[in-house]
Amino acid sequence: MLALDPRLGELDVHAKVVNHDIYLRGCVTTDQRREAIVYTVAELYPDYRVHDEIGVVHPVEGHGGEQLT
């Protein structure tokens, strides 16, 4: 569902539906991304309660990568 929506294309967030509750779990890289996912799911399924259990994992800055010799 989330991976196929052109507004989101999110592969690392999964949805579990229990009765009229949608639980969103996974990780994204920004708060804005998390908010967009929660908003879009709530918009698509207005009769369901959306539970935001999405974590935000910020990329590590200053890491230049591995040097190969």
Report pLDDT digits (tens) over 5-54.
Answer: 666 666 788 999 999 999 999 999 889 989 999 999 999 999 999 999 99
In a domain, 31, yes or no: yes
In a domain, 3, yes or no: no
In a domain, 51, yes or no: yes
Whether residue 56 contacts residue 38, with contact meaning beta carbons closer than 8 Å, is answered with no
Mean pLDDT of 50-59: 91
pLDDT of residue 58: 79
Phi, psi of 36 (to 5 degrees): -65, -40
In a domain, 35, yes or no: yes
Provide the β-strand partners of residue 14: 25
In a domain, 20, yes or no: yes
pTM (2 d.p.)? 0.74
**Boundaries of domain holding 43:** 13-56
In a domain, 49, yes or no: yes
How many domains is the chain built from? 1
In a domain, 4, yes or no: no
